[in-house]
């Protein structure tokens, strides 16, 4: 049964890949044109100040060509800047371009780059598009070249490196001879450690002051090239305030998860490969800014996760893995449908700026696009035709929401989560709770909130309702759980409710709180699952009732355990509180009664956390655990727990470090909702 399933999966995938590749080769036909460019790309390097570069236009044909139109496209200057600020363009053509290029003639186009004030490190993208009419033929055609400036090599490629590092690790793992388990571990640790180091560099170089108004959609560390031309798919990576925290979280949690995987001994090579593959998928999802690429990474994450649960899981691993996969897959299908729908409705009527053509990054004009930034800032889908009798934006919104709701997870779509957690090995639980759940909320911000603001506005109250239900439902269920992992899984359901409530408010504080809650829940829950793993390694049980009095025997363990539980119940001074506070403050003016009901959650949260904690740590100690509790935390366990604890404490008292990073992007996001929401 399993095998058949896996086979189907592989066949399906390979067919899909072949189809896509075939499509791309088939489409790469030449125009048979006469006019070509000496280069397809102009690069201004770091682009410190004003500078010019020229590119040659050569007519290789035997008839002269007329240049009827020259368009300069500047990526990421949204409508507002273009029309209101009257800012000087970043890219311009200085020399007049001849109207006609005779056969065999060569002409120069000089492009000038002028650095806007105050943003030395920022990247800019653009393109020049020439519309050409042959003297012979009547059909006009386009030739174009891309423009790029700003950013060092490292800045331009850091995200690619972050994706490559685990991939290289993966390849190295193939080379590791059998039975060399330790080497496998170190290779994986090295790969994810490299990602972590790159993430720290990313954090150090990230400029929190950049916003959409300053061009390039406010993105940083952009890698943007065309990928599959036949389908207008681009390889578009970038980071902004919405994703920076998630990227940092992913790199951090994956690294910690690698350390915690040290105890795995079964099929270690395969396991480590899967972990690295998941890391690629997660990182890719957070940095991909092309919808198709986003979808690909989303799927990449799903499949190895399935194997991790199915092969390295507990007793009922098969059913849990299949359930996880089915739920995830249903989500993917919903996303795929909306992906297609959005793609085919992009361009044309939906475009906000009629005079700027829709184009790929190198200026090739296209009818439709997968570019999330263009879908966000250049499109308004409210005018799109109805689908299945439903308003287009509503339908797509619901499809996307469904896709992400499964990941969040929103009650009643949550049943895969406790099961997957219970069966998954510790490191997988850590990744699952620490990062995977965040993809749902992130996806909503990146797609629902950015692309379909009108539908979001109308649906906000439902999102808030889901949030409140999640908070209370998760808390009540958590109280009744007897399995420690299930309890934490339900507490995740409850905590994700805060994110939903905050984001539904559509206020600055609410959305900031939601992002903060995402981040801090990531580190706190990772810590909780690691702690459960520690005790499970020793006692081989997770039944809360089986424990008791462990504080005496394992004081350091108890200290971390208490710390993590306190953080999870939202104690001020630890990171969990900041998010909750901001969510409440942000949501209160909008959903008063919801917030009051949700605030009851603070009581319930305290009840189930403390109740579980005291049954594990306090009370009478059963001497049957003597051999299990002989050792307190060892060095490896301390190394993986301590940084998490420090981070929790740091953010608890000094949240401004994370708030600063996201502030700008959130206010940009809220520009879609300006004037329509009430709030402070």
Partner 1 sequence: MSADALYTVAIPKLVELDNLWLIVLFPFLGAVINGLLGRQLQAKFGKSIIHYIAIGMMLCSFAVAIIAFAQILTADDIAIVSQAFPMIDIGWLSVNFALYFDPLSVVLALIITGIGTLIHVYSTGYMKDDPAYWRFFCYLNLFIFSMLLLVLGDSFVLMFFGWEGVGLCSYLLIGFWYKDMKKATAGFKAFVVNRIGDFAFITGLFFLFWGLGGHWNQNNNYDVHSNRSYEAIPVASDATSVDRLTSQDNKELVSQMPSVVFRDIEKQMTLSVRSAETGAIQKPFADALTEQTVGGIPLVFLICFLFFLGACGKSAQIPLYVWLPDAMAGPTPVSALIHAATMVTAGIYMIVRLNFLFVLSPGVMTVIALVGACTALFAATIGMVQHDLKKVLAYSTISQLGFMFLGVGVGAWWAAVFHLLTHACFKACLFLGAGSVIHSMGFLKSHDKSDDTEDNSIQTEPTHASVEEKPSPTDPQDMRNMGGLGVIMSHTRRTYLIACLAIAGFPVAAGFYSKDEILWKAMSNGQTFIPGWILWSIGFVAAGCTSFYMFRSYYMVFYGAPPSEQCQKHAHESPRSMIHVLWVLAGASIVTAVLGLPHLITGVDAIFAQWLAPMTAPFVSTTGVASAAWLEGILIVASIGIAVIGWLIAKHFYHSTHASMEKRQQWYQQFRLVHHTLYNKYWIDELYQMTWVRGFKSLSHGVATVDKFVVGLVINGGSKKLGQAFHKFAQVLRLHQTGYVNNYAYGIAIGTVVLVLVAQAWF
| Of the candidate residues 110, 167, 602, 650, the single one contacting partner 1 (CB under 8 A) | 602
| Of the candidate residues 88, 117, 138, 678, the single one contacting partner 1 (CB under 8 A) | 678
| Of the candidate residues 234, 240, 279, 663, the single one contacting partner 1 (CB under 8 A) | 663
Q: Is the dihedral of CA 442, 247, 417, 659 positive or negative?
A: negative
Distance CA 161, CA 157 (A): 6
| Of the candidate residues 40, 116, 365, 679, the single one contacting partner 1 (CB under 8 A) | 679
Pair 377, 403: CB distance under 8 Å: no
In whole angstroms, the minimum distance from the beta carbon of 196 to partner 1 comes to 25
Nearer Cβ to partner 1 (539/667)? 667
Judged by CB under 8 A, which stretch of 140-148, 365-373, 607-615, 623-631 contacts partner 1? 607-615
Residues 142-171 that bind partner 1 (CB under 8 A): none
In whole angstroms, the minimum distance from the beta carbon of 667 to partner 1 comes to 9
In whole angstroms, the minimum distance from the beta carbon of 326 to partner 1 comes to 6
Residues 317-336 that bind partner 1 (CB under 8 A): 323, 326
Reading the block at residue 132, the tokens are 């050409």
The interface mask with partner 1, positions 353-392, x = CB under 8 A, is: ----------------------------------------
Reading the block at residue 606, the tokens are 């305290």
| Of the candidate residues 209, 573, 630, 636, the single one contacting partner 1 (CB under 8 A) | 573
What single string gives the DSSP state of each residue in 215-283?
A: SGGG-EEEEEEEEEGGGTEEEEEEE-HHHHHHHHHHHHHHHHHHHHGGG--TTHHHHHHHHHHHHHHHH
Residues 388-427 that bind partner 1 (CB under 8 A): 411-413, 415
Size of the site for partner 1 (CB under 8 A): 59
Q: Which of 135, 129, 126 has the alpha carbon at shortest distance from 59?
A: 135
In whole angstroms, the minimum distance from the beta carbon of 415 to partner 1 comes to 5
Q: What number of CA atoms fall less than 13 Å from residue 73's CA on the CB side?
A: 27
The interface mask with partner 1, positions 105-144, x = CB under 8 A, is: ----------------------------------------
Task: Give, in order, the Cα–Cα distances in Å from 465 to each of 401, 595, 602.
Answer: 14, 10, 17
What is the residue whose two structure tokens read 């959409």? 212
Judged by CB under 8 A, which stretch of 191-199, 227-235, 308-316, 544-552 contacts partner 1? 544-552
Q: Is residue 653 close enough to count as binding partner 1 by CB under 8 A?
A: yes
Q: Is residue 618 close enough to count as binding partner 1 by CB under 8 A?
A: yes
Nearer Cβ to partner 1 (68/461)? 461
Q: Which residues on neighbouring strands pair with residue 328, listed in sequence order?
A: none
Q: Is the dihedral of CA 220, 113, 352, 357 positive or negative?
A: negative
Judged by CB under 8 A, which stretch of 67-75, 150-158, 261-269, 574-582 contacts partner 1? 574-582
In whole angstroms, the minimum distance from the beta carbon of 405 to partner 1 comes to 13
Nearer Cβ to partner 1 (390/657)? 657
For helices 153-175 and 268-287, what crossing angle results, to 10°? 160
Nearer Cβ to partner 1 (314/589)? 589
| Of the candidate residues 15, 136, 656, 676, the single one contacting partner 1 (CB under 8 A) | 656
Distance CA 116, CA 370 (A): 28
In whole angstroms, the minimum distance from the beta carbon of 484 to partner 1 comes to 16
| Of the candidate residues 142, 186, 329, 621, the single one contacting partner 1 (CB under 8 A) | 621
Residues 445-484 that bind partner 1 (CB under 8 A): 472-473, 476-477, 479-481
Chain centroid to CA 126: 25
Residues with Cβ within 8 Å of residue 536, at least 6 apart in sequence: 426, 542
Nearer Cβ to partner 1 (101/516)? 516
| Of the candidate residues 103, 353, 465, 581, the single one contacting partner 1 (CB under 8 A) | 581
Nearer Cβ to partner 1 (204/603)? 603
What single string gives the DSSP state of each residue in 507-523?
A: SHHHHHHHHHHHHHHHH
Q: Is residue 610 close enough to count as binding partner 1 by CB under 8 A?
A: yes
Q: Is residue 302 close enough to count as binding partner 1 by CB under 8 A?
A: no
Q: Is residue 641 close enough to count as binding partner 1 by CB under 8 A?
A: no
Q: How far apart are the first and last CA of the chain?
A: 57
Q: Is residue 512 close enough to count as binding partner 1 by CB under 8 A?
A: yes
In whole angstroms, the minimum distance from the beta carbon of 660 to partner 1 comes to 8
Q: Which of 438, 430, 423, 346 has the alpha carbon at shortest distance from 392?
A: 346
In whole angstroms, the minimum distance from the beta carbon of 335 to partner 1 comes to 19
How many beta carbons lie within 10 A of that of residue 489, not counting itself?
30
DSSP character at residue 622: P
Nearer Cβ to partner 1 (378/477)? 477
**Phi and psi dihedrals of 36, rounded to 5?**
-130, 165
Q: Is residue 555 close enough to count as binding partner 1 by CB under 8 A?
A: yes
DSSP character at residue 572: T
Please write down the HEC assignment for all residues of 159-216.
HHHHHHHHHHHHHHHHHCCCCCHHHHHHHHHHHHHHHHHHHHHHHHHCCCCCCHHHCH
Nearer Cβ to partner 1 (90/417)? 417
How many beta carbons lie within 10 A of that of residue 461, not counting itself?
13
Nearer Cβ to partner 1 (188/512)? 512
Q: Is the peptide bond before 87 cis (omega within 30 degrees of 0)?
A: no
| Of the candidate residues 25, 102, 552, 623, the single one contacting partner 1 (CB under 8 A) | 552
How many beta carbons lie within 10 A of that of residue 226, not counting itself?
18
Residues 186-225 that bind partner 1 (CB under 8 A): none
Where do runs of H (alpha helix) occur along 346-483?
372-377, 392-407, 416-423, 426-431, 437-443, 450-451, 453-480
Q: Which residues on neighbouring strands pair with residue 235, listed in sequence order?
A: 225
The residue ranges that bind partner 1 (CB under 8 A) are 323, 326, 411-413, 415, 472-473, 476-477, 479-481, 508-509, 512, 549, 551-552, 555, 559, 566, 571-573, 577-578, 581-582, 584-585, 588-589, 592, 595-596, 599-600, 602-603, 606-607, 610-611, 614, 617-621, 653-656, 659, 663, 678-680
């Amino acid at each position: 049964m399993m095998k058949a399933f896996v086979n189907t999966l592989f066949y399906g995938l390979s067919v899909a890949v072949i189809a896509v590749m075939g499509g791309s080769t088939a489409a790469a036909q030449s125009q048979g044109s006469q006019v070509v460019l000496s280069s397809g790309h102009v690069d201004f390097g770091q682009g410190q100040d004003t500078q010019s570069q020229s590119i040659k236009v050569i007519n290789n044909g035997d008839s002269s060509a007329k240049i009827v139109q020259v368009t300069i496209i500047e990526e990421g200057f949204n409508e507002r800047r273009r029309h209101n600020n009257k800012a000087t363009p970043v890219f311009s053509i200085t020399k007049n371009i001849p109207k006609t290029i005779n056969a065999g003639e060569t002409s120069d186009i000089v492009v000038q780059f002028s650095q806007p004030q105050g943003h030395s490190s920022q990247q800019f993208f653009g393109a020049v598009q020439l519309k050409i009419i042959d003297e012979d033929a009547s059909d006009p055609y386009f030739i174009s070249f891309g423009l790029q400036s700003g950013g060092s090599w490292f800045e331009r490629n850091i995200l690619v490196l972050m994706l490559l590092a685990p991939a290289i690790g993966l390849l190295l793992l193939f080379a590791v001879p059998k039975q060399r388990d330790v080497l496998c571990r170190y290779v994986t640790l090295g790969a994810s450690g490299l990602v972590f180091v790159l993430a720290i560099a990313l954090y150090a170089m990230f400029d929190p002051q950049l916003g959409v108004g300053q061009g390039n959609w406010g993105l940083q560390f952009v890698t943007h090239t065309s990928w599959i031309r036949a389908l207008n798919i681009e390889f578009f990576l970038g980071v902004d305030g919405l994703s920076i925290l998630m990227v940092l979280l992913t790199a951090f949690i994956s690294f910690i998860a690698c350390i915690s995987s040290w105890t795995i001994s079964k099929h270690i090579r395969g396991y480590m490969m899967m972990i690295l593959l998941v890391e690629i998928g997660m990182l890719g999802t957070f940095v991909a800014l092309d919808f198709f690429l986003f979808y690909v990474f989303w799927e990449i994450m799903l499949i190895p996760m399935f194997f991790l649960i199915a092969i390295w899981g507990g007793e009922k691993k098969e059913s849990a893995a299949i359930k996880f996969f089915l739920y995830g897959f249903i989500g993917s299908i919903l996303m795929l449908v909306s992906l297609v729908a959005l793609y085919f409705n992009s361009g044309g009527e939906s475009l906000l700026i009629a005079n700027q053509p829709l184009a790929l990054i190198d200026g090739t004009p296209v009818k439709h696009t997968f570019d999330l930034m263009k879908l966000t800032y250049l499109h308004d889908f409210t005018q799109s035709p109805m689908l299945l009798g439903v308003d287009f934006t509503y339908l797509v919104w619901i499809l996307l929401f469904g896709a992400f709701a499964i990941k969040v997870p929103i009650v009643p779509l949550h049943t895969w989560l406790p099961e997957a957690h219970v069966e998954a090995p510790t490191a997988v639980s850590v990744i699952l709770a620490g990062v995977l759940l965040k993809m749902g909320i992130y996806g909503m911000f990146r797609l629902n909130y950015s692309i379909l603001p009108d539908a979001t506005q109308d649906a906000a109250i439902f999102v808030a309702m889901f949030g409140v239900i999640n908070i209370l439902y998760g808390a009540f269920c958590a109280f009744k759980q007897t399995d420690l992992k299930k309890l934490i899984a339900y507490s995740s359901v409850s905590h994700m409710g805060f994110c939903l409530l905050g984001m539904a408010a559509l206020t600055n504080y609410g959305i900031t709180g939601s992002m903060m809650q995402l981040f801090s829940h990531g580190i706190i829950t990772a810590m909780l699952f690691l702690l459960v793993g520690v005790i499970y390694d020793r006692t081989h049980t997770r039944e809360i009732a089986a424990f008791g009095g462990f504080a005496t025997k394992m004081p350091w363990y108890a200290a971390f355990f208490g710390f993590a539980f306190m953080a999870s119940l939202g104690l001020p001074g630890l990171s969990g509180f900041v998010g909750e506070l901001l969510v409440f403050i942000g949501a209160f003016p909008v959903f008063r009664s919801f917030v009051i009901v949700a605030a009851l959650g603070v009581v319930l949260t305290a009840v189930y956390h403390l109740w579980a904690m005291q049954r594990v740590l306090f009370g009478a100690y059963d001497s049957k655990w003597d051999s299990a509790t002989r050792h307190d935390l060892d060095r490896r366990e301390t190394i993986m727990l301590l940084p998490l604890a420090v981070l929790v404490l740091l953010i608890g008292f000094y949240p401004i470090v994370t708030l600063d990073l996201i502030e700008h992007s959130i206010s940009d996001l809220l520009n879609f909702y300006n004037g329509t929401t009430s709030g402070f």
